Amino acid sequence: MKINWNFIGFIVLSSFIVFLFGFAMQRNEARNLSKIVITFEDETPPFITLNTVNKLLIQNFETVASIPKEALVLKEVEERLLKNQMIHSAEVYITVDGILGAKIKQRTPIARVVDTQDYYLDTEGEKMPLSSVYTARVPIVTGAVMEHAKPLTDLLLQINQDQMIKSSVVGLDVLEDGTLKMRIRKQDFTVLFGTTDNAALKFQNYKAFYQKIKQDSMLANYKTVDLRFGNQVVATKK
């Protein structure tokens, strides 16, 4: 019987390559991690320190260099990060050269609620604790906030999208029936906003009124500006 040396050589070479690949993989998994790289994906300053994220990543290990690659379960690390109330989402990965990476997206506060214990309201209408690291510059909100969290959140998001309104509104009072009063930066009058219905029209009317009265230098003469009546702006002088 004729021996096919080419076929045998191919089998031997393939087996050797598989062996080398498996050996390299085994050695790579046995290596310890080298360092941590943390990236905050949002543009706002961190509400959580890098040191806190580091501790959440390595947890029971003294340093990242003491962690073998195979000892880290990425899903468990991500779940641990997500338990932190400042973090919205997290992606954890390990590179071939032993870097433990984490991409962090923080929760975004859109208002600070003054209550027995102050907290932020985030973009999803959920409570978010204050941070000891950074204080967000957002409107101060009082009153029946969580009872009307959904419409209030929608309104705050709309405020954030209008630069003139965003720079003007410094506070909101939420009444029990869901109607709103607004406090305006550097002005002594109160804006009676009513419900969040037709909010875009109300803001449009307010901006037109504000620009007209500002030109006439009469802003200081008013104590209330009422936006509750459709296309009308009813302003009451002091």
**Domain parsing of the chain, residue ranges:** 30-106, 109-237
CA distance 201 to 194: 12
Segment 3-26 shows an average pLDDT of 46
Q: With 50 as the cut, is the pLDDT of residue 65 above it?
A: yes
Q: Which two tokens stand for residue 233?
A: 């702006």
Segment 134-156 shows an average pLDDT of 96
User: Measuring CA to CA, which residue among 102, 106, 35 is closest to residue 74?
Assistant: 102
Domains 30-106 and 109-237 agree in fold: no
**3-class DSSP state of 4:** coil
Task: Give residue-wise pLDDT tens across range 206-226.
Answer: 999 988 887 767 778 889 999
- The interaxial angle of helices 50-58 and 74-82, nearest 10 deg, is 140
Q: With 80 as the cut, is the pLDDT of residue 189 above it?
A: yes
Domain 30-106 part of CATH 3.10.20.310: yes
pLDDT grade, residue 11 (50/70/90)?
A: low
Distances (CA, A) of 209 to 181, 198, 214, 228: 17, 17, 8, 14
Q: Which two tokens stand for residue 141?
A: 């909100």
- Lowest model confidence (mean pLDDT) among 40-54, 81-95, 149-163: 40-54
- Lowest model confidence (mean pLDDT) among 69-73, 82-86, 160-164: 69-73
Q: Decide: residue 211, CB within 10 A, 0-12 exposed, 13-18 middle, 19+ buried.
A: exposed
| Predicted model pTM | 0.80
Q: Decide: residue 26, CB within 10 A, 0-12 exposed, 13-18 middle, 19+ buried.
A: exposed
Which residues touch 81 (CB under 8 Å, ≥6 apart)?
A: 53, 56, 57, 87, 90, 92, 102, 104
**3-class DSSP state of 29:** helix
**Percentage of the chain with pLDDT > 70?**
83
Average pLDDT for the chain:
84
Task: Give residue-wise pLDDT tens across range 93-133.
Answer: 988 888 888 999 999 999 999 999 999 999 999 999 999 99
Q: With 90 as the cut, is the pLDDT of residue 64 above it?
A: no
Segment 198-205 shows an average pLDDT of 94
Top CATH class, 109-237 = alpha beta
Segment 40-59 shows an average pLDDT of 87
- Output the CA torsion sign for 79, 80, 81, 84: positive
Q: With 90 as the cut, is the pLDDT of residue 143 above it?
A: yes
Helix (H), strand (E) counts: the chain = 6, 12
